[in-house]
């Protein structure tokens, strides 16, 4: 695999990473996945042709070995911690893993002349948005260490471009959701804090009633509005980003969302419609740090990458998540 066409995918055994790896493998892309399996799952790599290396993105020696062997043309960097609440109580864990560890990766890329980087960034880099829908021109003013850890890496990538010509695409995800259409791979976080799986876990009995965090937001039904982007659409955007960089395209920072806002109550209704069951729920106070609305203007991704969300029907998204949650694995790779 040392023909210079292989891609290194860090964190490829995680939720968004594994869906992307599966898509890229189906397109015939050669890949090595580097994952420390802290939150990733070996079982999420379903294609036998994809090599999984168990290791850390901050490990210079391991990275050098891999670059030596595979001469990667590009890196797709998913590996990161992503619990906002934990980032507030343990910020150094986030700055260490999300900001500092990737420096080793970038150093080794520079050493080996690898100059294409696809980065999992986030709408959390915008903080409380100064306008809705959020365009890439919105001020980036993250309000928690998670958002800041990602924002800092965006800045570092820009500096690397000036210094040694690294080209990057910072893909600012909105709320990743759903799972593969066939239910083979899906979302398995431990602990699980995200709304859609929490609602589904309330149905399966894996968790108690779902708590709606706040009903007094300045939104039509009083609950928070988010832009739920299907994980397979996110995967497709990574394929486009790789093609873009591979064709010599300029560095980009683009929002990946549907452009459609959905409230917490609407998610619960969609789940009830998709499953024909009533969701046990309780109403609670606001969760600290939650902006009322986060909705993308995804038009730049269309303009620059020819990408737009295909799965914009929330019913389809929650149905795919339910397929995984109610399927043979019960929403878990291991029990
Ligand atoms: N939410 C909720 N109950 C939960 C989990 C989430 O009401 O058990 C709300 C949360 O306040 C937010 C939305 O659902 O408005 C999406 O939250 P999630 O944690 O899934 O993603 P985030 O927007 O924080 O990245």
Active site residue 81: no
- pLDDT tens for 146-203 read 999 999 999 999 999 999 999 999 999 999 999 999 999 999 988 999 999 999 999 9
CATH superfamily of 7-177+229-256: NAD(P)-binding Rossmann-like Domain (3.40.50.720)
Specify the pLDDT at position 2.
56
Specify the pLDDT at position 331.
87
CA of 102 to the centre of ligand 1 (A): 28
Q: Ligand 1 atom closest to Cα of 223?
A: 15
Ligand 1 first shell, C-beta below 6 A:
175, 193-195, 198, 210-213, 224, 226, 264, 287, 290
Specify the pLDDT at position 225.
98
Among the options 81, 94, 146, 173, which is catalytic?
146
- Best of 198, 209, 264 for a ligand 1 pocket test (most atoms within 8 Å of beta carbon): 264
CATH superfamily of 195-227+259-332: UDP-galactose 4-epimerase, domain 1 (3.90.25.10)
d(CA 67, CA 201): 41
CA of 18 to the centre of ligand 1 (A): 22
- pLDDT tens for 22-58 read 999 999 999 999 999 999 999 999 999 999 999 999 9
Which carries the bigger pLDDT value, residue 332 or residue 70?
70
Locate CATH 3.90.25.10 in the chain: 195-227+259-332
CA distances from 60 to 1, 35, 67, 157, 335 (A): 21, 14, 10, 18, 34
CA of 326 to the centre of ligand 1 (A): 21
* Angle of CA points 282, 284, 288, to nearest 5°: 145
């Amino acid at each position: 695999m040392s023909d210079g066409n292989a891609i290194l995918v860090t964190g490829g055994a995680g939720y968004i990473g594994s869906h992307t790896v599966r898509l890229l493998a189906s397109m015939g892309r050669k890949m090595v996945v580097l994952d420390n399996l802290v939150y990733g799952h070996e079982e999420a790599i379903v294609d036998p042709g994809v090599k999984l290396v168990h290791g850390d993105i901050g490990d210079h020696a391991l990275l050098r070995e891999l670059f030596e062997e595979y001469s990667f043309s590009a890196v797709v960097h998913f590996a990161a911690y992503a619990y906002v609440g934990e980032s507030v109580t343990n910020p150094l864990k986030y700055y260490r893993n999300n900001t500092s560890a990737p420096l080793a990766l970038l150093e080794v890329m520079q050493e080996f002349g690898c100059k294409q980087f696809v980065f999992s960034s986030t709408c959390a880099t915008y903080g409380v948005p100064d306008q809705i829908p959020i365009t890439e021109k919105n001020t980036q003013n993250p309000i928690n260490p998670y958002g800041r850890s990602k924002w800092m890496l965006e800045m570092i990538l820009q500096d690397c471009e000036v210094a040694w010509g690294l080209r990057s695409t910072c893909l600012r995800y909105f709320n990743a959701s759903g799972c593969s259409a066939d239910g083979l791979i899906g979302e398995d976080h431990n602990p699980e804090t995200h709304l859609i799986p929490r609602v589904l876990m309330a149905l399966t009995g894996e968790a108690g009633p779902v708590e709606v965090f706040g009903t007094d937001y300045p939104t039509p039904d009083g609950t928070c509005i988010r832009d739920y982007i299907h994980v397979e659409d996110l995967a497709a955007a990574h394929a486009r980003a790789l093609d873009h960089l591979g064709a010599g395209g300029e560095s980009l920072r683009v929002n990946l969302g549907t452009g459609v806002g959905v409230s917490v109550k609407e998610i619960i209704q969609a789940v009830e419609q998709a499953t024909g069951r009533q969701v046990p729920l309780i109403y609670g106070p606001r969760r600290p740090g939650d902006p009322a609305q986060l909705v993308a203007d995804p038009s730049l991704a269309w303009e620059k990458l020819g990408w737009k969300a295909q799965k914009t029907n929330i019913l389809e998204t929650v149905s795919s998540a339910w397929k995984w949650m109610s399927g043979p694995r019960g929403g878990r790779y291991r029990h």
